[in-house]
């Protein structure tokens, strides 16, 4: 039984390579030294890559034709595989972003949601 389509498996491979490049070199700094700057650098890279917008298809501008929760979960799984503490940073950012996306008026949405999804702020 195959749970993920070929496109999703390909996306997982892309995310795994990204995490290997961005997260793996910083795992010790995050785990041992509790280096929040290292976490912020990776969040910034995730935002630049568009990975933080996957749960918000109306905001996503990447190559996936149907982004959504499955792809956001793939990003979380790949991060958690390398460092669960860092994955909780992703989860925190996105749990703060969702209410702004769903319920906020334009001004607060722009002020808070845009930086979170761009990787320039953590919720």
pLDDT at 3: 85
Task: State the residue range of the domain holding 84.
Answer: 6-117
CA-to-CA distance for 54 and 94, rounded, in angstroms? 10
Q: Does residue 98 form part of some domain?
A: yes
123 inside domain? no
Q: What is the pLDDT of residues 12-46, one digit of tens each?
A: 999 999 999 999 999 999 988 989 999 999 999 99
Residue 40 located in a structural domain: yes
The pTM score is 0.90
CB-CB contact of 62 with 15 (8 Å): no
Q: Count how many domains the chain has.
A: 1
For the segment 55-74, the average pLDDT, to the nearest whole number, is 91
- pLDDT for 2 equals 66
In sequence order, the 6+-apart residues with CB closer than 8 A to the CB of 16 are 78
Report yes or no on 102 lying in a domain.
yes
Angstrom distances, CA of residue 47 to CA of 6, 14, 100: 24, 15, 17
CATH number at residue 73: 1.10.540.10
Distance CA 23, CA 111 (A): 27
Select from 91, 96, 100, 97 the least CA-distant residue to 72: 91
67-111 pLDDT, tens digit each:
999 999 999 999 999 998 889 989 988 888 999 999 999 999 999
Q: How confident is the model at residue 66 (pLDDT cuts 50, 70, 90)?
A: confident
In 10 A of CB 18, how many CB atoms? 18
Query: For residue 64, is pLDDT > 90?
Result: no
Supply the pLDDT for residue 62: 86
Any domain includes 112: yes
């Amino acid at each position: 039984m195959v749970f993920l389509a070929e496109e999703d498996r390909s996306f997982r491979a892309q995310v795994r390579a990204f995490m290997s490049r961005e997260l793996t070199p910083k795992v010790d700094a995050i785990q041992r030294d509790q280096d929040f700057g290292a976490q912020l650098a990776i969040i910034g890279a995730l935002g630049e890559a568009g990975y933080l917008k996957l749960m918000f298809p109306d905001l996503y501008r990447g190559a996936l034709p149907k982004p959504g929760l499955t792809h956001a979960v793939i990003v979380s799984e790949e991060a958690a595989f390398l460092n669960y503490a860092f994955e909780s940073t992703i989860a925190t950012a996105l749990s703060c972003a969702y209410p702004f996306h769903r319920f906020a008026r334009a001004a607060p949405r722009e002020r808070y949601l845009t930086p979170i999804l761009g990787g320039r702020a953590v919720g």
